[in-house]
Structure 1
Amino acid sequence: MPKKTPENSVIHPFALDKISMWGKAISAQRKLRRITMRDFAQRANISLNTLQRIERGEHSVMAGNYLNAMCVLGILGKLCITPEHSMMVSYVERVRVVRGDPDYF
């Protein structure tokens, strides 16, 4: 039985659109390859119910299940780009503000 998402959880519409697109792409690619839902669920190591929820684009499915399904189909690199190194490193630079500075607030 799927976990219930909290009633107060708010997901950005852009994120919902992406999840929906992932589900449609997974469904289309699975059908294009003529893989049955049962066989695909076994290959992706997920339940049939979870696969149905993925293909409907439900946001309550774990992201790892979406990514795993994409890996099985070989489309992960096309649907999820790898971030540049600069996006994964946090550059925290301390700036010292002189309080006597007239430009200080």
Structure 2
Amino acid sequence: MSDLQLEHLNIPARDPLGLAQWYAQTFGLKAEKHLVRGPGVLIAFVEGEPINRAEDLHVGFRVPSIKALNEWAKKFGAEPKAGAEFTAFRTPDPEGNCLELYTPNA
């Protein structure tokens, strides 16, 4: 058994402070300069070009239910898609980094 634990994500941004504020406001997290914190979440935004690659590389947020997922999808103007194990949608953040919001299928 491993004693490793994912501690944080480091996401490049042209405007780290602005993107930290967007994540905090959008997802109800707390921004501390270029850092965003929440229960089990620490994201550091650093100066750089956005990842903006294929959707295979993304930041995923699990939501508690299909109802909650549909509410988030409406907010982002997205359409959730059901897969074999989960239902999800993907959308870019303001700098083009790919976000995924998902919930496991019952």
Q: Which has the larger strand fraction?
A: 2
Compare the two structures and name the one with the higher helix fraction.
Answer: 1
* Superposition TM-score, scaled by structure 1 size: 0.29
Higher relative contact order (CA 8 A, sep 6+): 1
Larger Rg: 1
